Amino acid sequence: MGLFTRISAESQFGLWTAVALIVGQVIAVGIFLTPAGMAKSVGSPFWLLVIWVVIGLMTLSGALCYGEMAARFPEAGGSYVYLREIYGRLSAFLYGWMVLLVLDPGLTAIFGVGLASYAGYLVDISPFGKQVLAISIIVVVGLINIFGARVGANFLKVLTVTKIGTLLFIILYGFTGGFGDWNNFQPFFAVPTDVFGALAGGIVGAFFAFAGWWEVTRIAGEIENPERNLPKALIIGVVSITIIYILTSAVFFYLVPITHVTSDETFAAQAGEALFGKVGGIVFAVIVIISVTGTLVAYLMVSPRVYYAMAKDELFFKSFGEPHPRFNTPHRATIIQIILASILILAGNFEQILSYFFFVVVLFIALVVAGIFKIHKREFGGYKTIFYPLTPIFFLLVTAVVLLMIAMKNPKQSFLGAAVVLLGIPVYYLLFRTNPKSKI
C-alpha cells in the first residue's frame, strides 16, 4: 500500500481544515508580495478595486467548476486526475511533467525568495546573500519534511486564524487609529497613461495573488466527505480571500503613499512602520516570514501527491510512489524539488521566476475548467457547477485575457515555460507510452 493511500485512510480532514488550507496558503504569499506592484501599476484605488473584484469573481467561477471536478473524482492528485479523466493520459502526464519541472520548484523558489527578501529587511544582506539564504531555507524545510516532520491540521488552523486575525487587526487599527492619510486615495478615478500596460500588470499581479486556490484538491483523498466538503471549502475560501484582499489593499493605500513604496516584498513592513514606527516594521516582517515559512512547509509536504498519482498510473518512475524506508516520506520527489528550486533562484530574480512558470500554469488550469463542458452532462448525483455554463465561460474569457497579457509582457519566459512542458511529449512516448495500459 502506498504512502498517501495510508495517509488517506488515517487522516480525514474536515471542511474547515480544507478552508484553512486554501486561505492559509494563498494569503501567506499573495497579499504580502504583490499588492505594491499592483498599486504602482494602476496608480488608482478605483482600478485596483475593479481588478480585485473581477479576479475574485473569476477565481470563484473557477472554484465552482473545480468543485464539480473534486466531487466527481475525489482522488489525490487534483488537476492531474481531472486532466486524466477528461483528456487522457498524455495531457495528465504533461501536467505532471510541468508540476515536477516548473510549477512546484517555481513556487518553492518564490517562497524562498520572499522569505529572504523580508529577512533582508531585518538584516542587511547582499543580493547573493539573499539567494544563498533562500536556498538554505528551502533545503532545511525539505530535509525536515524528508525526516518525517508534518504540519498537523490544528497547527494549520491556528496559523490561518493568526494570519487573518493579524490582517483584520491591521485593517481596523489602521483605519481607526488615524495613522494614514485619506488623500492617498486621490485621485480615486485616475486613468493611467498606459492603460493596457497598467491593467496588465495589475491583473497578472491579482491573478498571482489568488494562485494556489486549486491546490487543496491535491489532497482530495484525505478530505472527509470530499464530494460535499471540497466544493464548499473552495467557495468559502475564495470569497473570504477576495474580501480580505480588498480591505487589506485599501488600508495599505491609506497607510503608505504609492510614491513611498520601496519594493514589492517589503510593502507590508512599510505599513507596519506607519502604524508602530520602526518596531512595527520589524514585527510585520517577522509575521510575514513566519507565514510564508508555514506555506513553504505545507507546500513541500503536499506537492509530491501528484507524483504519487502519476506513479500509481504507471506514468512516472515507480520509485516516486515509494516512501523512504525509514521515514515513510516521498524523499526522492522532495529532493528533486529542492534542487530545481535552487537552480531557479540562482538563475534569476523574483519576476523572472514568476514569469518562467506562470503562463503554463494558467493554461493548464484553464484546460481543467474547459473540461467541465465535456463532463457536466454525464449522469452524476452530487454537486454540479452553479450557474453553468456562465461560470466556466466567464472564467475562460478572463483567463484568455490573462494569458495574452502574460505572453505579451514576458514572451521569452512564457515560451520557455511552454517549451519545457512540450519536451514531455517525447519523454512520454519513449518511456511510458509503451506500457500496454497506456491510452492517449
Task: Quick: pLDDT tens for 143-153.
Answer: 877 776 455 55
Task: Look up residue 215 and give its three cell numbers.
Answer: 491546490
Exposure of 162 in the CB half-sphere (CA atoms within 13 A): 16
Distances (CA, A) of 200 to 33, 47, 265, 331: 17, 12, 20, 39
Rounded CA separation 145/151 (Å): 9
291 contact partners, CB below 8 Å, separation of at least 6:
27, 28, 32, 159, 163
Please work out, in degrees rounded to the nearest 5, the angle formed at the alpha carbon of residue 79 by the alpha carbons of 326 and 375: 135
Distances (CA, A) of 165 to 24, 168, 170, 178, 255: 12, 5, 9, 20, 18
CB-CB neighbours of 19 under 10 Å: 22
Task: Look up residue 413 and give its three cell numbers.
Answer: 519566459
For residues 407 and 260, the model is more confident at 407
Average pLDDT over residues 252-263: 74
Q: Which domains does the chain have, with CATH numbers?
A: 3-432 (1.20.1740.10)
65 contact partners, CB below 8 Å, separation of at least 6:
368, 369, 372, 385, 391, 392, 395
Q: In this model, does residue 105 exceed pLDDT 80? A: yes
**The pLDDT value given to residue 369:** 95
Average pLDDT over residues 83-107: 86
**The pLDDT value given to residue 183:** 80
Q: In this model, does residue 163 exceed pLDDT 80? A: no
Q: In this model, does residue 3 exceed pLDDT 50? A: no
Q: Work out the end-to-end distance of the chain between its first and last CA atoms, rounded to an integer number of angstroms.
A: 27
Please write the tens of the pLDDT for every residue from 331-374: 787 888 888 889 888 887 556 666 667 788 889 999 999 999 99
For residues 372 and 201, the model is more confident at 372
Average pLDDT over residues 259-272: 68
- Average pLDDT over the chain, rounded to whole? 79
Rounded CA separation 61/402 (Å): 15
Please work out, in degrees rounded to the nearest 5, the angle formed at the alpha carbon of residue 232 by the alpha carbons of 227 and 233: 105
Band of pLDDT at residue 32, cut at 50, 70 and 90: low
Average pLDDT over residues 182-194: 73
For residues 157 and 374, the model is more confident at 374
Average pLDDT over residues 83-103: 87
Rounded CA separation 353/435 (Å): 35
CB-CB neighbours of 197 under 10 Å: 15
Average pLDDT over residues 1-22: 58
**The pLDDT value given to residue 5:** 40
Amino acid, single-letter form, for residue 387: F
For residues 268 and 376, the model is more confident at 376
Provide the β-strand partners of residue 13. Answer: 223
**The pLDDT value given to residue 11:** 46
**The pLDDT value given to residue 12:** 58
pTM: 0.80
